[in-house]
Amino acid sequence: MPQDTQLMLQLVRSRGGMAHPLSRTAKGSRKYPRNTVARRRPKARLDDPQVIPPAVPGQCVLFPAHRTITSDHLSGISDRRWPEGDLLASLVAEVATERGVSETWQRLAARRLRAVLSMRDADGELSVAPEYLDQVPGSATAGVLEVLRRAGLLLPRKRPRPVRWPTGSCGHCGCWGVTQRLCRGCECWKHDTGRYPTGSCGRCRRELPLSAQERLCRGCLIHVREHGEHDRAPFTQLQLALGKHPVRQLKHRADRLGYDTTDRSWGKRHTARARRRPVPRTVSAHLTDPHQPALFTLDRDWSRVAARNVDELPAMTTNAQQLLEEFTQFCRAQMRRVNPDPHGHAGALRALRIVLAHLGAAAPVHERDLRALAVLDRNINAPRVIGFLAQRGMLIPDPARTADRHLAAVDRLIASFPAPMDSELRRWVTVLQGQGRRRHPALPTATIRSYLQCAAPTLRMWTEHTTTLAAITRQDIRDVLDLAPGRPARTAQQYLRSIFRALKQERLVFHDPTRGITLPAQVRLPSPVPSDRLTGLLQQAHTPLARLLVALVAVHALLPSQAAEIQLDELDLAHGALRLPRRTIYLETLTTELLTQWLRMRQQTWPACSNPHLLVSSQTALDPSGPPVSKMLLSTPFDRTGLTARALWQDRVLNEARHSADPVHLMRLFAISDSTAMKYVHAAHPEKTGRVHP
């Protein structure tokens, strides 16, 4: 007599549970009785008024908001009703009959229709915009649009659909499931030219990065290792791969359906690799002697050493092995909260192992050697090793790193110009630093670097017909200003006037070609940010650092660049104040709580952090030079909100100007200039200017 067969499918990294047992008998009746008591219970009506609430009738919405609709939101409005609900239900059934789809499609379509109708009511509209469907998860988009079109509720699309990342195959190994041209493994092979030189593959004959021993590309090497040595040239087919891993690696337990787990190819490869490994290893002959002074300093070439495996490095001394063990414990203590995996510090451990194996641990390590290794191998984490060695007094800092990074960038940029223009630009930088023939207030090096970067395209255009700024005429200045009308022209006029005024002062040019050239003034009054766009800003920030940065900008009017320069010793939590060089910020309850959360996370994540700045990241926390966080990290919290930090800053200052028309109060509170304070007072109180701005 045939028995019921329990089918089971086990998937890797799947959240699905086991298959339900077969509950029907041979006659087709149910083995277990139905739960009729639960069916007789009254079902609660789901219409949460807080989920996509409708607008007040007669109220105009300034602009439609971009929403993020989840399945929980859709469940909260599953019983919401509309006057056109019966018409839409009949049209859904009509479209389903024409397309021959199941009832599941009708339920999905009705679910998305309820979402777009709720969004229509929230925006105070009478029809549905196709952009609403871009904000609702699910399928059946074409069918829902057809239903709305037949009901006469569909508006024409105003914005294009959001671009989705295409999924395809790797261009080298053919692995499917990547969103770029190459998968991660082939991308590493492409950039590591020392270990994987480019050449003709011995199997597929393509010009790709090859394994130095097998002379095969990565795709053919995986295929040959999985299917044996007999599958070499002239064969060119590859084993398909899914999810960036070969199919043969998808293995399960022996008593479950799936691939056969008796394959021991990995163990064979591991044994063969162990046999090829050279067993005897001697200590390096280039160990550094701390008592022997150096005659002169040369940069070491680590290109051949960085490409070696661990088993190819020289044997380590006892002191070097002990220092390596201390570094391992240091990394695990640093990563116990961020990444509990003990192997997460492999890149930093490799850098220290290479240096200690060749130079030993008797003398301090040069920072330049670690930086050079990081350039050759992008998997090496040099800042973590540098911070560890600096704490133990085992690091010789790089003099080039201790200098001002902005001045170093200015020197590199000036060196790219021909003579004598480079010497003229250096004299201009000297004047901006307050060291010219006449005494001037020195500008910050970051401002000097910004001026030079803005002027570089114009200067390079002039180098096509001259090599000295003394040959520049008034017509050349006007031609540059005509190429960039409006605000860019005023910016160009500012840095060009700075250059030629400095050269005229230093007597390097006879006349100033920018003198007498004026541009029409453009007065742009700041505009406020709508209150509905400010709602939920902190909820959109997912980390303590992001929430603290949003609060400093939106509440206390600190720009991200100013927040990045805050020092730890400027924070006085006992008195609830942040004492900055130009202003003192008194902290309220919200900002104090966010600061406490961030300081607690900082201490738990980087307990040995020596960076003096309040805001740190994984790249700057252990850097001995103590740099501020990058601009990309500062802009990330505001990219999620759709608002810029400058817009939030202007809205905060403008809101304060509405409550107080005193420009002196604004100058003291936000540390702004008198002209900026007057501009915001005029924007908030146009009647005080004697004219009403449009």
Buried-exposed string 107-140: b where 16+ CB fall within 10 A, e elsewhere: ebbbbbbbbbbbbbbbbebeebbbbbbeebeeeb
Which tens digits make up the pLDDT trace of 290-306? 777 777 777 888 888 77
Nearest by Cα to 428 from 501, 493, 513, 515: 501
Buried-exposed string 409-420: b where 16+ CB fall within 10 A, e elsewhere: bbeebbeebeee
Determine the pLDDT at residue 383: 77
pLDDT band at 231 (very low <50, low <70, confident <90, very high): low
Determine the pLDDT at residue 595: 92
Nearest-angstrom CA–CA distance, 362 and 93: 81
DSSP letter (8 states) at residue 166: P
Encoded amino acid at 468, one letter: T
Rounded to an integer, what is the distance from CA 50 to the centroid of its chain?
33
Retrieve residue 171's tokens: 């261009």
Prior bond to 42 cis, omega within 30? no
Nearest-angstrom CA–CA distance, 394 and 375: 21
Pairing state between β 577-579 and 245-246: unpaired
Nearest-angstrom CA–CA distance, 558 and 142: 46
CA distances from 529 to 65, 534, 554, 574, 693 (A): 13, 7, 11, 34, 18
Q: Is the dihedral angle over the CA atoms 671, 672, 673, 678 positive or is it negative?
A: negative
Prior bond to 444 cis, omega within 30? no
The DSSP element (H or E) to which 200 belongs, if any, is strand 198-200
Encoded amino acid at 344, one letter: G
Nearest-angstrom CA–CA distance, 29 and 511: 103
pLDDT band at 694 (very low <50, low <70, confident <90, very high): very low
Nearest-angstrom CA–CA distance, 147 and 414: 64
Q: What is the DSSP string of 87-102?
A: HHHHHHHHHHHHHT--
Determine the pLDDT at residue 582: 85
Retrieve residue 410's tokens: 């200015």
Segment 70-82 mean pLDDT: 83
| Plot region of 205 (φ>0 → left; ψ -120 to 50 → alpha; else → beta) | left
pLDDT band at 440 (very low <50, low <70, confident <90, very high): confident
Whether the pLDDT of residue 142 is over 60: the answer is: yes
- Return the bridge partners of 200, or none: 207
Contacts (Cβ under 8 Å, ≥6 apart) of 24: 30, 31
Determine the pLDDT at residue 4: 47
Whether the pLDDT of residue 253 is over 50: the answer is: no
Determine the pLDDT at residue 81: 85
Which has the minimum average pLDDT: 315-319, 374-378, 685-689? 685-689
Whether the pLDDT of residue 626 is over 50: the answer is: yes
Determine the pLDDT at residue 279: 56
Retrieve residue 244's tokens: 């960036």
Segment 446-457 mean pLDDT: 88
Determine the pLDDT at residue 363: 85
Residue 621 sits at the vertex; the CA angle it makes with 619 and 623, to the nearest 5 degrees, is 75
pLDDT band at 240 (very low <50, low <70, confident <90, very high): low
For 680, the 3-state DSSP assignment is: helix
Nearest by Cα to 366 from 285, 304, 283, 294: 294
| Plot region of 528 (φ>0 → left; ψ -120 to 50 → alpha; else → beta) | beta
Which tens digits make up the pLDDT trace of 544-602? 998 999 999 988 989 888 899 999 999 988 888 999 888 888 989 999 999 999 999 98
Which has the minimum average pLDDT: 237-246, 411-420, 648-657? 237-246
More confident residue, 403 or 367: 367
pLDDT band at 263 (very low <50, low <70, confident <90, very high): very low
Nearest-angstrom CA–CA distance, 619 and 605: 13
Determine the pLDDT at residue 307: 76
CA dihedral 458, 459, 460, 465 (to 10 degrees): 110
Nearest-angstrom CA–CA distance, 287 and 654: 64
Retrieve residue 111's tokens: 């679910």
Which tens digits make up the pLDDT trace of 658-682? 888 888 988 888 888 888 888 888 8
Encoded amino acid at 67, one letter: R
- Please give the backbone phi and psi of residue 245, each rounded to the nearest 5 degrees, phi first: -130, 140
Encoded amino acid at 510, one letter: F
DSSP letter (8 states) at residue 210: B
Residues 61/28, Cβ–Cβ less than 8 Å: no
- Percentage of the chain lying above the pLDDT 90 cut: 4
Determine the pLDDT at residue 677: 87
Determine the pLDDT at residue 592: 92
Q: What is the DSSP string of 33-57?
A: ---HHHHHSPPPP---TTSSPPPPT
Which tens digits make up the pLDDT trace of 103-136? 888 888 888 888 888 888 888 888 888 888 888 8
Rounded to two decimals, what is the model's pTM?
0.46
Residue 385 sits at the vertex; the CA angle it makes with 380 and 386, to the nearest 5 degrees, is 115
Segment 336-361 mean pLDDT: 71
- Report the chain's mean pLDDT, rounded to a whole number: 78
- Return the bridge partners of 208, or none: 199
Domain boundaries, the chain: 51-57+65-159, 175-242, 302-402, 405-506, 535-643
Segment 503-516 mean pLDDT: 86
Nearest-angstrom CA–CA distance, 138 and 69: 10
What count of other Cβ atoms lies within 10 Å of the Cβ of residue 348? Answer: 27
Determine the pLDDT at residue 596: 92
Residues 598/324, Cβ–Cβ less than 8 Å: no
Which has the minimum average pLDDT: 114-123, 199-208, 618-627? 618-627
Determine the pLDDT at residue 274: 58
